[in-house]
Structure 1
Amino acid sequence: MSDPSAASLVSTPRVEAPAEGGAPTNVAPGKQQRPRGLLGDAWLDLRRKPLFWISAAFIVFFVAMAAFPSLFTSGDAVNGDLSRSLVKPSSDAWFGYDVQGRDVFARTIYGARASIVVALLSVIGTLLIGGAMGMIAGYRGGWVDAVLSRIADIFFGLPFVLGSIVILTTFNGSGTDNNEWTIMGLVIMSLTVLSWPVVMRLMRSAVLATKEADYIVAARALGAGTGRIIFKHLLPNCLAPILVYGTIMVGSFIGTEATLSFLGIGLKSPVVSWGIMISEAQNLIRVAPYLLFFPSAFLVTAVLSFVMLGETVREALDPKLR
């Protein structure tokens, strides 16, 4: 006869109950498989997509260019030499020189800073304002929701480009300080003021779909306060659509800043940005097409990188698209 006490010392692998339609899974003793959440499943899906890694690599490149431009070029992006006016690209100047004899490669590198900083700060401001108002409107409901929704409708009725022109021409006139950060602050303000209603609608819809979930009702029944319910339960489960839209919006705002600068109502010299470079090159496209090509190529690549990243993240977070 076998000794029961000895048999109990023999470790055998524990067999978990199989999932529906699946086979049993052997799990080592003392270890349990932790279930993955939404973000864990999304990351597992993103790692398999080449488009995610390509867009992320370009974004890291542009962010590094904006943060540390001196690592990419030692040229002067502001001062030029008229003796080098419209000199074509060569080994000494990869992108050539503009009409004022300034290094186009250095200006393209330094131009990333203004464009990306304006886009990122505008998106952060838009997410904070729109997200907060959407959270309040969706959670409180009633007259609070009605008032905030009507305010958002008013801003929805303002044409984006026209509203930006009115704001920037009003506050960025000839009598305004021409300081670099002052000009950038005005552009950021105009983009934020005109863009927050979209985020407000997204957050409001997410909150309305989540606030009646069982775990929210249970937390409220256990005496959890409003602050704990919002920050502990609602906010983490409503962030996914906001973050996806914010990623796409960074690329959109880079293009919007370039458009406003091209029209002469956005960033202005001495600020260096891709939009300003394109505006300065429009009259020289036949004589020196490279002045338009290089900043436009960097601008398009940056916009597409953020848009593609947002699309891949959206597909990873949406189970229906996997």
Structure 2
Amino acid sequence: MTDPSTASAVTTAPEEFVTAAEHAEVKGNKPRSLASDAWHDLRRRPLFIVSAALILLVLLMAFWPSLFTSVDPNYAELGKSREGPSAAAWFGYDNQGYDLFSRTIYGSRASIIVGVAATLLTVLIGSTFGLLAGYYGGWLDGLMSRIADVFFGLPFVLGAIVILSSFRASGDTSATQIILLVVLSISILSWPVCMRIMRSAAIAAKQQDYVKAARALGASTSRIILRHMLPNAVAPVLVYATIALGAFIGAEATLSFLGIGLRAPVVSWGVMISDSRDVIRVAPHSLLFPAAFLTATVLAFVMLGDAVREALDPKAR
């Protein structure tokens, strides 16, 4: 004769060992991927919300400046030179009589374009070299690492001065060419960081079972790299790219302030800061407002990168 308590334990045992997948199926919810799980976590982080709102505002300023001002940023009134903020000009006027509010709004475009283009090119170069070095290893990995060490040894400002001065010495350059030169100089000097991040991620991904299984099934090298390794190694590069974008915007301002980056007639925050250095004592507002927008934008991208890093890293939760 069976004990009722034993029978009850036997009948309820299967219910106690329900798997997570079966539980999700009963609830009608599908298991989330890494990207969807990260997005679900990001939406609940105040740091992400604040930084995303600031970046969205800057993007609106860059691509639709007419939403914020109707003043021509290249229209100058010398009679209003160095005037302070007022109802007619919220940020006042600079040394040439330009409306600072209008130029601050329009100046976001060149700064964002340089930052985004330099980030994309840096990630493209660094990720390609890092994937190849991490997958093949051996002499190719050693060669890539030594080349990266050479670029690591170059001071950023000195290297940018050499690159920009060498290309500009060949003749006059247009505004578009200047922007391209600044983007190229930033990317050439910054790709080793991305290369090392991607190389480390690729080495870790190469040891995973799914890569070994794909190789055993006869998958081609390009398919293994693009379909199996890249999606699982791209997360740390995305974090780096988010933070680097803000750093590259600051780098453009640094080069413009030194006189080797963007210059008039291009309107950017770096150019505005460079123009204000001669009148900072008598018109500090000409430096305050573009510098404040530049600082807030760089800080927003750094905050966004930190939020993305914590969302993609399960150990940080």
TM-score (norm 2): 0.91
Deviation at 1:76, TM superposition (A): 1.4
| Aligned residue runs from structure 1 range 186-201, under 5 A | 186-201=181-196
After superposition, the C-alpha distances for 1:253-298 in whole angstroms (9 at most, x for unaligned) are: 0111101101111111111111111111122122111111100110
Q: CA 1:26 to 1:57, structure 2 compared with 1: closer, same or farther past 3 Å? A: closer
Q: Structure 2: how far apart are the matches of 1:26 and 1:15?
A: 14
Helix, strand or coil at the partner of 1:269: coil
After superposition, the C-alpha distances for 1:8-56 in whole angstroms (9 at most, x for unaligned) are: xxxxxx9794459xxx94854xx75322222222112111111101100
Aligned match for 1:155, one of 151, 158, 163: 151
Q: Structure 1: how far apart are the matches of 2:99 and 2:126?
A: 41
Task: List 4+ stretches of structure 1 deviating above 6 A.
Answer: none
Helix, strand or coil at the partner of 1:284: coil
Deviation at 1:210, TM superposition (A): 0.7
After superposition, the C-alpha distances for 1:72-118 in whole angstroms (9 at most, x for unaligned) are: 11111123011221222111111111111111111101110111100
Which range moved further: 37-46 or 104-113? 37-46
Residue 186 of structure 2 aligns to which amino acid in structure 1?
L
What residue number does 1:230 align with? 225
| Aligned residue runs from structure 1 range 1-322, under 5 A | 17-18=17-18, 25=23, 28=26, 32-173=28-169, 176-322=171-317
Q: Structure 1: how far apart are the matches of 2:248 and 2:39?
A: 26
Residue 85 of structure 1 aligns to which amino acid in structure 2?
S
Q: Structure 1: how far apart are the matches of 2:222 and 2:305?
A: 30
- Does structure 2 retain, via aligned residues, the 8 Å contact 1:251–1:307? yes
Q: Structure 2: how far apart are the matches of 1:282 and 1:226?
A: 54
- Does structure 2 retain, via aligned residues, the 8 Å contact 1:15–1:25? no
Which range moved further: 248-257 or 284-293? 284-293
- Does structure 2 retain, via aligned residues, the 8 Å contact 1:15–1:27? no
After superposition, the C-alpha distances for 1:223-275 in whole angstroms (9 at most, x for unaligned) are: 21111111111010000000000000000001111011011111111111111
- Does structure 1 retain, via aligned residues, the 8 Å contact 2:256–2:263? yes
Residue 156 of structure 1 aligns to which amino acid in structure 2?
F
- Does structure 1 retain, via aligned residues, the 8 Å contact 2:69–2:102? yes
Residue 70 of structure 1 aligns to which amino acid in structure 2?
S
After superposition, the C-alpha distances for 1:109-138 in whole angstroms (9 at most, x for unaligned) are: 111011110010000000000100001111
After superposition, the C-alpha distances for 1:205-229 in whole angstroms (9 at most, x for unaligned) are: 1010111211111111112111111
Residue 108 of structure 1 aligns to which amino acid in structure 2?
T
Q: Name structure 1 gaps, 5 residues minimum.
A: 1-13
Q: Structure 2: how far apart are the matches of 1:296 and 1:95?
A: 12
Larger helix percent:
2
Residue 29 of structure 2 aligns to which amino acid in structure 1?
Q
TM-score (norm 1): 0.90
- Does structure 2 retain, via aligned residues, the 8 Å contact 1:285–1:292? yes
Q: Name structure 2 gaps, 5 residues minimum.
A: 1-13
Percent identity for Structure 1 against Structure 2: 58
Q: Structure 2: how far apart are the matches of 1:26 and 1:179?
A: 59
